[in-house]
């Protein structure tokens, strides 16, 4: 069995970086350089170190500055040529760097942006940084940028929607707190996005903030039903989402179409309208799809089958060869139309009811 070798880890404090002092744990100068590369946005040859008295330290003699506790303090010298090069970067080059480093939550790129970016594109790139930070959940970077008071209202709103779409509730909370005048239309859109993704915590946060859960057109309830997110539908119903009129009818219809039995039951329990076309369309679709449990629920909650929708539902069930559903419809009073009789004579249920 090979003898285990002792691994010495050096504790190195780096001073003079932008912001606070930095502590690194490493086993060699090479490893230290590797760790510092992303922080300084440069390549290894452009990083050099000195002792606090100004003496330059190279890879071969840095260990002599380590004390008995394997700890030392070094000063970083950032090569001036690197800064000069960054001053010439195009917008595309900055975008690549911003996305690369913000993706890994490294805010060092912001310092470089503040110092070296040309004024003509600096504001635009700061706003782009906001969006990158929101996408990757970098709350501290978003907070830093938003407090600069240089970010446009449109950028804040776009960042809000991005955060809603990737479920970063802490960033959404920050933006809602900071941007007191966030357009309600954007807030409604954020709720719609959160409902479409099934993000429960985000939905609750937005509702608690006062976002209109009804919105305009096919809103939050419809998309939650369409996606089959029972828990989201439950949250919306508990907070009083409107389920009367067209909104409720569309929600009931799409839930019936996709066979979401639990959601259909929830809607019916909260008094979704089932009279006339609103209930008839849902019943017809459930019959065509063969969703027996949904058919029973709709009938139990009062969908009228004695008129046109009952006859059409019989035809839908017959086309799907669901004699069990036909039988249920007939029990609730559905009637075959005369012009349907000839085409339905092969149905055992039809023959039974006509005998």
| Residue matched to tokens 């609750």 | 204
Please give the sequence-ordered ranges of beta strands (E in DSSP) within the chain, or none if there are none: 10-15, 22-26, 47-50, 56-57, 71-78
Higher-confidence residue of 351 and 334: namely 334
pLDDT per residue over 137-163, tens digit each? 999 999 999 988 888 889 999 999 999
Model pTM? 0.72
pLDDT of residue 230: 97
Chain segment 245-277, per-residue pLDDT in tens? 777 788 999 999 999 999 999 999 999 988 888
The highest-confidence range among 19-33, 83-97, 212-226, 231-245, by mean pLDDT, is 231-245
Among the residue ranges 64-68, 103-107, 183-187, 268-272, the one predicted with the least confidence is: 64-68
DSSP assignment string, 122-181: HHHHHHHHHHHHHHTT-HHHHHHHHTTT-S-HHHHHHHHHHHHHTT-HHHHHHHHHH-TT
**Average pLDDT, stretch 73-97?**
71
Q: What is the mean pLDDT of the chain?
A: 80
pLDDT value of residue 6: 47
- SS3 string, 276-317, reads CHHHHHHHHHHHHHCCHHHHHHHHHCCCCCCCHHHHHHHHHH
Q: Of all residues in the chain, what percent carry a pLDDT higher than 70?
A: 70
Here the tokens at position 298 are 């709709």
pLDDT by residue (tens digit) across 229-250?
A: 999 999 999 999 988 877 778 8
In angstroms, the CA 198 to CA 213 distance is 15
Q: How many Cβ atoms are within 10 Å of 33's Cβ, its own excluded?
A: 19
Q: Would you say residue 100 has pLDDT above 80?
A: yes
Confidence of residue 323 (pLDDT cuts 50, 70, 90): very high
Architecture of domain 10-79: Roll (3.10)
- Domain range annotation of the chain: 10-79, 87-181
Helix, strand or coil for residue 272?
coil
3-class DSSP assignment, residue 105 = coil
Question: Token match 């357009």: residue?
Answer: 183
Question: Are 56 and 50 a contacting pair, CB within 8 Å?
Answer: yes
Query: Residue 4's pLDDT band (boundaries 50, 70, 90)?
Result: very low
Bridge partners (DSSP) listed for residue 48: 77
pLDDT confidence tier of residue 35, bands split at 50, 70 and 90: low
């Amino acid at each position: 069995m090979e003898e285990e070798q002792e691994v010495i880890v050096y504790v190195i404090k780096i001073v003079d970086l932008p912001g606070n002092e930095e502590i690194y744990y490493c086993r060699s100068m090479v490893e230290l350089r590797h760790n510092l590369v992303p922080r300084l946005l440069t390549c290894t040859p452009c990083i050099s170190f000195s002792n606090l008295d100004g003496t330059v330290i190279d890879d071969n003699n840095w260990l002599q500055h380590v004390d008995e506790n394997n700890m030392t303090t070094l000063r970083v010298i950032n090569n001036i040529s690197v800064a000069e090069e960054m001053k010439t970067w195009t917008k595309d080059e900055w975008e690549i760097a911003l996305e690369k480093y913000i993706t890994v939550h490294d805010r060092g790129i912001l310092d470089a942006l503040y110092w070296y970016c040309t004024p003509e594109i600096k504001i635009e790139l700061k706003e782009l940084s906001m969006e990158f930070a929101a996408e990757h959940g970098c709350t501290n970077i978003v907070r830093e940028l938003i407090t600069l008071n240089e970010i446009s209202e449109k950028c804040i709103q776009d960042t809000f929607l991005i955060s809603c779409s990737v479920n970063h509730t802490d960033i959404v909370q920050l933006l809602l707190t900071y941007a007191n005048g966030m357009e309600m239309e954007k807030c409604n859109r954020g709720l719609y996005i959160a409902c479409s993704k099934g993000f429960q915590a985000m939905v609750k946060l937005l509702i608690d903030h006062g976002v209109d859960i009804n919105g305009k057109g096919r809103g939050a309830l419809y998309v939650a039903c369409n996606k089959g997110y029972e828990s989201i539908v439950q949250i919306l119903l508990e907070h009083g989402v409107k389920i009367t009129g067209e909104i409720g009818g569309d929600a009931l219809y799409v839930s019936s179409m996709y066979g979401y039995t639990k959601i259909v039951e929830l809607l019916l329990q909260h008094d979704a309208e089932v009279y006339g076309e609103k209930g008839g369309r849902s019943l017809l679709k459930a019959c065509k799809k063969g969703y027996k449990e949904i058919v029973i629920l709709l009938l139990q909650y009062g969908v009228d089958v004695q008129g046109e929708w009952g006859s059409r539902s019989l035809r839908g069930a017959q086309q799907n060869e669901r004699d069990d559903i036909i039988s249920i419809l007939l029990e609730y009073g559905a009637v075959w139309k005369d012009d349907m009789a000839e085409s339905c004579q092969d149905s055992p249920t039809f023959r039974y009811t006509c005998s």
